[in-house]
Amino acid sequence: MKKLAAAGIALVTSFSVLTVSPAEATMASRNLITFWEHDDYQGARKDVTCSTQLRDDLGALENQASSMANASYSGIDLYSGDNRTGVTYYAKPRSNDSDFTNNGFDNTVESVWFRKVPCDVG
Ligand SMILES: [Ca+2]
Ligand SMILES: [Ca+2]
Ligand SMILES: [Ca+2]
């Protein structure tokens, strides 16, 4: 009985510290870009798939994203405004950025343009 309880605690502990690294995101799916609320792929996460070239629905991460991993084979233009307006940041295919600050793009992105759809093949 004691042994079982300890195993349960160990499981819960290992699950709670589980985070998705850019490499893992890349392995998981190649049809999306993932944004995180904070630097270094921390905080709230939003996956944006290339179902269409334009994605304008960053939800709670609108003007909040601070890092990204582009798992797709498409270059992606990130825009500071809705519907491809404002200034841009280009995310190369299969790339990631742990901090948008040095790109002048912290807490900025509102819309996303996939240059190549479908984007999950090289
Ligand atoms: Ca942020
Ligand atoms: Ca913005
Ligand atoms: Ca950067």
pLDDT-above-70 percentage for the chain: 77
Dihedral class, residue 94 (left if φ above 0, else alpha if ψ from -120 to 50, else beta): left
- For the chain, what percentages of helix, strand and coil (3-state, to nearest 5) are there? 30, 30, 45
Q: What is the mean pLDDT of the chain?
A: 85
- Spatial separation of the C-alpha atoms in residues 3 and 57, rounded to whole Å: 47
Question: Across-strand partners of 69?
Answer: 34, 96
> pLDDT-derived band of residue 27, with 50, 70 and 90 as boundaries?
low
Q: Which domains does the chain have, with CATH numbers?
A: 22-114 (2.60.20.10)
CA trace torsion 17, 23, 24, 29 (10° rounding): 150
What is the mean pLDDT of the segment spanning 47-73? 96
Ligand 3 centre to CA of 38 (Å) is 12
Q: What are the tokens at 105?
A: 């793009």
> pLDDT-derived band of residue 122, with 50, 70 and 90 as boundaries?
confident
Q: What are the tens digits of pLDDT across the range 62-111?
A: 999 999 999 999 999 999 999 999 999 999 999 999 999 999 999 999 99
Ligand 3 centre to CA of 84 (Å) is 20
Which protein residues have their CB within 5 A of the ion that is ligand 2? 63, 80, 108, 110
Which protein residues have their CB within 5 A of the ion that is ligand 1? 64, 66, 107
